Structure 1
Amino acid sequence: MDFQGIREEIKSRIDIVDVISDYVGLKKSGTRYKGLCPFHTEKTPSFVVSPEKQVFYCFGCGMGGDIITFVMKEEGMSYNEAIRKLSERAGIKLEINQNVQEREVLLQIHRAAAAFFKDQLRKSEKALKYLHTRGIGKESIERFSIGAAPEGWDTLFRHLKKEGFQDRHLRLCGVVVYKEHSQYDLHRDRIMFPIHNSSGDIVAFGGRAIEKNIEPKYLNSPETIIFQKKRILFGLNAAKEGVKGAKHVNIVEGYTDVVMCHQYGFTNTVAPLGTALTEDHTKLLMRFTKEVVVIFDGDDAGVRAAKRALPIILKGGLAARALLLPEKNDPDSYLKTYGAGEFKGLLSKTRSYVEFMLTNAGYGVDNLREIYDTLAAVEDTVLRAQLVTELSNKASISESVLTEKLKKVYKPMRTARIVKQRGKMLDEEILLGIYLSVPDIAEMFKPMMDMDLQGLMENELIKRIFKEFFSGTTAPTIEGLSKICTEEEVAYITGLMVNPNVDPNIGRESIEKNIEGCIKNLKKKWLKKKLDEIQEKINKASLANNIDELALLLQESKKYNNEKRGLF
């Protein structure tokens, strides 16, 4: 299904003000609406919604976008999930293809299996006794929909067949194993933990052996079209509200660690599914938080795990901190032994990445080199600057020396430079804001199309966007920009559209004068730079007494000076 194609249709049917009003108290302010930003704490409203442009922007935290972006951020939804939610609100019927139908059947199978396991738990004294022994209470059993798989080889299979599910779907879902002449349940005699995606759908199961001699101790469902381990975090659906309140997420290692943390009040806790943390996990977490705390055992294995996880979190643009528990303890055992108060005390002493590396991860040149490599890979320039300052202060290394070292190894993924909103905008910022805000204005930008944008603009992102617009490969809309820009870049561009310096209501003549003035300023700056370069060459040619080169340079200088005079 092409969700991108219906983005504009949604926006044409639903007013962004109506949607955001469900989450934020908005008051009209001129042609716009203002309110307190839902994405950061503030006392004075800096969150602006423009019904005319169908965008929002916060001048406090820099968050911005359109109606789809807002629902994604506020609800913690994926792009497709937000499209589905808003399509339903707009009364748009989405075409359901075979893959979508198949996905829905697999979700139904998992719902039926979860209900079956839950019913089996009620009947199993052994499973209930095991949970009681582990200290898992009734509320936790309900919160995480914990169940039990019976000992029989095909009890679940026969139940699902009775429910009317077909073999081809049972083959795909992973809860039943198909051999040449037989079928049997994947999970048998295990405590069952349903695994939810961030929208709350059950997409897989994790089974914990009840008997000590059963291997493997933990058994996850295989990957399917609805379940990829690298994109799912156990407990995230239950943790969303807790993460909002705590302003960070705790990452632990196992199912019971997550369950016990929630049981003791630390409801902002999640865990990867028997795999190391991935970049996909950090992208998922970006929808809910800006800070991650990894909690590992304090042994060598725990230190190694933290050293692997922290750089991945930082690279994804999230602040990262570490907590190493006393040796031979995990969150589950620590909470049961010492209680919530002691655990909260430990959480108040988490260490930043820099602190962790300097105090727990080793010493000497190799350790510093590892820190440099991690900092160099951090694409968020603000976060990287904070880490550099911290390393400078704590390792007694000059910040300028560190910056130079990082320049040598840092290779940015993009050349875009995000510039925070400020009182005075760059000429290219004003031009892009007008280009995106004012209909039928492209004709006024023809002089720019013939210019060398490389030398004309200092903002690399805007330069790249104008090249895309002028070549006709990208539409000048939020939808078009979302295909070629990061979320941060789209938010920044949205800010240009709602900035007071870009007001489409001032009249066509004033807008055209504004465009002419900005293009003229850009050309003046370019000519000054060119003339400065030529003057430097003239000085060198004079010193070398190179008459022929001097004559050519003076002729070139005259040409550019005439151009410059023509601009005044």
Structure 2
Amino acid sequence: MARISEQTIEQIRSIADIQDVVGRYVQLKKRGKNWFAPCPFHNEKTGSFSISPERQMFKCFGCGVGGSVINFIQKIENIEFVDSLKFLAEMYNIEIQWDGIPNTSNNLSQQMYDIHEITWDYYRESLKKSKVYQHYLENERGLSKDIIREFQLGLAPNNWQGLLDILREKKFSSEAIKESGLIISGEKGFFDRFRNRVMFSLINERNKICGFAGRSIDPKDHAKYMNSPESPIYHKSNFLYGLNKSKNFISKTDKILVVEGYLDFLQLYQNDFKHTVAVSGTAFTQQHARKLKRYSENIILVFDGDSAGINAAIRSGFTLTLEGILPKIAELPIGLDPDDMMREGKKKEINDLFKEALPLLEFQFKHFNGGTDTPQNLNKFLRSSLLDISKIDDPIFREIMLKELAEITKIREENLYEKLSLLLKRNINRQPKKIIKKTETIIKVGESRRDKIEKEIIQLCFAKDEKIRNLLYNYVEIDWFKNSYYKTIYKNVFIHLKGELAPDANIVMDRLEEKERANLSKSIFELDLKNPTIKLAIDCMIGLEKHDLRSTQRAMQEKLKDNINTSDSLKILQKISEIRLKINDIKDKYIDI
């Protein structure tokens, strides 16, 4: 099986700067020589997540997760190690070599990207030949030629095998063609998925086409929109249309407008509301919320003005609260969407609606199905709102929302809190309890004196002083470690101790499991607070040896109690005496160092 070459992995490590990569996901603030942010892996308000540009590592002191830039991408994108390498290679335009051979686009993901580029060329050329579809986009939908070109709109012609013939001619693998979802099979064989439709290119944040959406202009067609299926390069639950362009404007305005459709997005973007993204082809998900939070927490939902749009906006709003975001919702006129308003020349009106957007709970109160004008309906509204609030993990954020709910409904806060407490208890009871088998051991790192000594030895393995590392290499044996995490770490770092330079923690981390990475990253971050010396290394080695000898001594003393009046007592006393001498002589072992 082909594998990414070590040269490529090393190139990725050296080029993919952790501050740059992490900064694309969270807003970093400098504190001392490190950078901090709220952790993207658990819900928190305090900045316990830290990155070290010097060591190219990250560590959260809240949930414990830590590792290299490759491990960060693994975890935040929920992908495997190899896929995280590909992800970073794409981000930094690094050519991947497989087993020392330059990549010739034989890997599946690259083939799929190539297929989508060729497909876009086919759709673009088809649109150039169709006056009907050009008229539809420019005159009926009001899109400029610049917008059509910038967002790579095209036309899938009414041809059953036009694209299939092109892809066959290019000799892509059958697996890549199948996985792309652009060709499907039926009773009569294989044929193009999209036919006789306006095509919207789905472009990811790295400016690569990963899928398509097709809109029919035939009123008789029951399927108005058709999207690419899920694939190795396209995930609906994590994709936001237009983000590849709008992210540059979001960073300037610190605001995001979220709309439902492709045409809603294009019209707003065309009319200078460039801090916009669209959720298309799927419901708004927590992955969407998490992605938006990387760019801004000031979010306005701009959904259609009908009942379906109102309900979708409320659901999406509560999804955002799970990520600690309090969104606002714009109230569009009944029956209108952003596309309609822009085509009717209502730019000022919609801008006013953005300014007057209501906070989530206030919007829900105003538009609650059935109203809130009777005690019964008000009670239904409160139950619905409290149920959504109970799903939020952050207790402070829950309290903020509870106060707002009390102000809106004029219900006493303590009564709402009592009801919320019952819901929270019910949520806890419904969560499956983890059953730990008797054979499973949980190692609490740092609790015992021995654990602390073992951790210090691990820290010293990464000291800049070559003499310290040589000392550890010559004297410290793997069997000295009783903590399984530190033992595994030492096994992986041992071979690097004889090098002229301190071991690269990132290389070691990439070979470890997540819990071991968490322990190593914590140890290395703490190393920055210490002054590694030869004396400290010797003290640690003496400490471990003494700990083992004293454990043996205590065991022998217990054995002596059971054999005090037997013939074995003298032998046991002799062994105890020998152990005492060894304990006293340990320091002499290192006296010449």
Q: TM-score, normalised by structure 2?
A: 0.62
- Identify if the C-alpha distance between structure 1 residues 211 and 381 changes in structure 2 by more than 3 Å, giving closer, same or farther: same
| Contact residue 12 and residue 88 of structure 2 kept, 8 A | no
What displacement does 1:167 show?
Answer: 4.8
Q: How many Å separate the matches in 1 of 2:194 and 2:409?
A: 51
SS at match of 1:505: coil
Segment drifting more, 95-104 vs 112-121: 95-104
Alpha-carbon separation, structure 2, partners of 1:353 and 1:225: 35
Task: Find the residue that maps to 1:260 and give its secondary structure.
Answer: helix
Matched, 1:504 2:518: no
- 1:303 & 1:85 partners in 2: Cα distance? 37
Match of 1:279 among 286, 289, 306: 286
TM alignment of 1:246-265, pairs within 5 A: 246-265=253-272
**Given the superposition, is the C-alpha separation of residues 78 and 284 from structure 1 closer, same or farther in structure 2, using an over 3 Å criterion?**
farther
Structure 1 position 22, deviation (Å)? 12
Q: Which residue of 2 aligns with 1:202?
A: 209
Q: 1:23 to 1:373 in 2, by over 3 A?
A: closer
Question: How far apart in 1 are the matches of 2:409 and 2:51?
Answer: 45
CA offsets per residue over residues 233-264 of structure 1, 9 Å max, x none?
22222222233233243221211111112111
Query: Could you say which residue in structure 2 is the equivalent of 1:118?
Result: 124
Residue aligned with 1:281, SS: helix
Find the aligned partners of 2:526 and 2:320 in 1 and give their Cα distance.
Answer: 32
Distance 1:414 1:507, change over 3 A: farther
- Alignment correspondent of 2:236: 229
Please list every run of 5 or more consecutive structure 1 residues that lacks an aligned counterpart in the other structure: 40-45, 416-427, 443-466, 517-568
1:102 is matched with which residue? 108
> In the alignment, is residue 143 of structure 1 matched against residue 150 of structure 2?
yes
1:186 equivalent in structure 2 = 193
Which amino acid is 2:183 matched to?
V
Cα offset, 1:297, TM superposition: 2.2
Unaligned runs of 5+ in 2: 40-47, 373-377, 434-445, 461-482, 493-504, 544-593
User: 1:308 and 1:329 mapped to 2: Cα distance?
Assistant: 19
Mapping for residues 19-418 of structure 1, pairs under 5 Å: 33=33, 50=52, 53-55=55-57, 68=69, 83-84=85-86, 93=97, 101-133=107-139, 134-361=141-368, 362-363=371-372, 364-410=378-424, 411=427
Paired amino acid for 1:163: K
> Cα 1:409–1:11, aligned 2, differ >3 Å: closer, same or farther?
farther
Distance in structure 2 (CA, Å) of the matches to 1:399 and 1:507: 58
1: CA distance, partners of 2:196 / 2:254 = 38
Distance 1:129 1:356, change over 3 A: same
> How many Å apart are 1:208 and its aligned residue?
1.2
Question: CA, structure 1 residues 160+321, in 2 after alignment: closer, same or farther (shift >3 Å)?
Answer: same
Query: For 1:11 and 1:391, how far apart are their aligned partners in 2?
Result: 53
* DSSP-derived class of the 1:267 partner: coil
Find the aligned partners of 1:196 and 1:495 in 2 and give their Cα distance: 38
Q: Work out the CA distance in 2 between the residues paired with 1:86 and 1:436.
A: 34
Worse overlay, 100-109 or 141-150: 100-109
Distance 1:48 1:302, change over 3 A: closer
2:339 aligned counterpart, secondary structure: helix
What is the alpha-carbon distance in structure 2 between the residues aligned to residue 376 and residue 480 of structure 1? 39
User: CA, structure 1 residues 220+62, in 2 after alignment: closer, same or farther (shift >3 Å)?
Assistant: same
Shift of 1:71: 8.1
Q: C-alpha distance in 1, partners of 2:96/2:215?
A: 43
How far off its partner does 1:276 sit? 1.6
The CA distance in 2 between the partners of 1:102 and 1:289, in whole Å, is 34
The percentage of aligned residue pairs carrying the same residue is 26
Q: Secondary structure at the match of 1:14?
A: helix
Rg (Cα) greater in structure: 2
2:96 and 2:175 mapped to 1: Cα distance?
Answer: 31
- The Cα offsets for residues 38-74 of structure 1, whole Å up to 9 and x where unpaired, read as 99xxxxxx99864665446899x9999665289869x
8 Å Cα contact 2:459/2:524 also seen in 1: no
Distance 1:195 1:47, change over 3 A: closer
Paired with 1:152 and 1:399, the residues of 2 have a C-alpha distance of 63
Distance 1:22 1:273, change over 3 A: closer
By how many angstroms is 1:33 displaced? 3.2
Measured after TM superposition, the shift of residue 10 of structure 1 is 5.6
Task: Report the alpha carbon displacement of residue 144 of structure 1 after superposing the two structures with TM.
Answer: 1.0
- Calculate the aligned-residue CA RMSD, in Å: 5.5
Mark the CA change 1:16 to 1:182 in structure 2 (over 3 Å): closer, same or farther.
closer
1:36 Cα offset (Å): 10
Following superposition, the deviation at residue 130 of structure 1 comes to 0.6
| Alignment CA distance shift 1:54-1:183 (3 Å) | closer
Q: Cα distance 1:141–1:72, how it changes in 2: closer, same or farther (>3 A)? A: farther
Deviation at 1:206, TM superposition (A): 0.9
Distance 1:203 1:353 in 2: 33
State the distance in 2 between where 1:184 and 1:414 align. Answer: 46
Structure 1 residues 263 and 102, CA, compared in 2 at 3 Å: closer, same or farther? same
Counterpart residue type for residue 375 of structure 1: I
Letter in 1 for 2:69: I
Q: 1:309 to 1:503 in 2, by over 3 A?
A: same
Cα distance between partner residues in 1 of 2:2 and 2:137: 45
Deviation at 1:114, TM superposition (A): 0.6
Change (3 A) 1:473 1:401: farther
SS in 2 for 1:206: strand
* Counterparts in 2 of 1:179 and 1:398: CA distance versus 1, 3 Å: same
Q: Which position in structure 2 is the counterpart of 1:440?
A: 458
**What are the Cα deviations for residues 102-158 of structure 1, in whole angstroms up to 9, with x where unaligned?**
232222111100111111111211111111121111221122100111223322222
Give deviations 1:426-458, integer Å, cap 9, x for gaps.
xx99x9x9899854369xxxxxxxxxxxxxxxx
Retained in 2: the 8 A contact 1:438–1:504? no
Q: Tell me by how many angstroms 1:392 deviates.
A: 3.2
One-letter amino acid of the counterpart of residue 310, structure 1? G
Structure 1's 270 and 482: CA in aligned 2 closer, same or farther, altered over 3 A?
A: farther
Give the distance between the partners of 2:409 and 2:185, measured in 1 at CA: 58
- Equivalent position SS for 1:319: coil
AA partner of residue 354 (structure 1): L
Aligned partners of 2:5 and 2:97 also within 8 Å: no
Q: Distance in 1 between matches of 2:523 and 2:195?
A: 58
| Distance of aligned partners of 1:280 and 1:71 in 2 relative to their CA distance in 1, 3 Å threshold | closer
